[in-house]
Amino acid sequence: MTLLYIMEYLKHYTQPQILVTTLTLLFGGIFTRKLYNNKKLLQEIELEKVSIEKIKQIEIDDLKNENLILIKENEKETMNNEKLLKKFMDVCSKLSEKEKILNDTNEKLEEYYRDKIKDKCVKKIDEYGSGPIRYKSKCGTIYYHGMGHLENKYMWWESKMNRKILEYKNKEKDLKFPDFETHDIKSFCNNCEYCEGINKKQRNKFYYECKGHKINVE
């Protein structure tokens, strides 16, 4: 389109020299304008690049500063963690020492009370025999071996069996009720009496009545 305008404009000029000069001036102006515009565009591009580089450098500097701050905070946090770890290890060490002391103390106490209980058991056996004490008097001062109200749930129970202990002569017989049955009445109860009335018809088992014991059964 531009070329058509130019040809329309030049058709009035017939002399070649004038035509050449005119064309030279016309195209030279066009190229000069384009060159100028290109230079201006290049300058704008360069300015934009400089601006971008400045912004980029600012952002890089900001990131570096943030990174330095984070590094310092991390170092501070690391130091605090090391201090806390040291305190924790100190506490663990002290707890370990105390635990050892406590275990030693517990072992000594267990040994002490084990011996004390053993002596107490021996003393109790000497006092009333090896059989379990199961009942006490209404006043709560006399304790008894043998059967009692806990056995009235059985079909074979009779009131005359109260405080009675059964001794089996056959040492091989299994004791179904070891709380009031035995193979050796002398070791089971040391304060009992042979029941002549009940034992008249007995051949293999014999009844004894516990006469009671004044003991401390804590």
Q: pLDDT tens digits for 5-54?
A: 555 655 555 455 555 555 565 555 666 776 667 777 777 777 777 778 77
Range scoring the smallest mean pLDDT among 39-53, 126-140, 158-172: 39-53
Strand partners, 207: 166
What are the sequence ranges of the domains in the chain? 28-101, 129-210
The answer to whether the beta carbons of residues 25 and 18 sit under 8 Å apart is no
> Edge to edge, what strands does the sheet with 164-168 contain?
181-182, 164-168, 205-210, 192-194
- Across 64-73, 75-84, 131-140, the highest mean pLDDT is recorded for 131-140
Closest listed residue to residue 127, CA positions, set 217, 215, 218 = 215
Helix (H, G, I), strand (E, B) or coil at 164: strand
- The phi, psi pair for 177, rounded to 5°, reads -125, 75
CA angle 196, 162, 178 (to 5 degrees): 95
CB atoms closer than 10 angstroms to residue 208 = 23
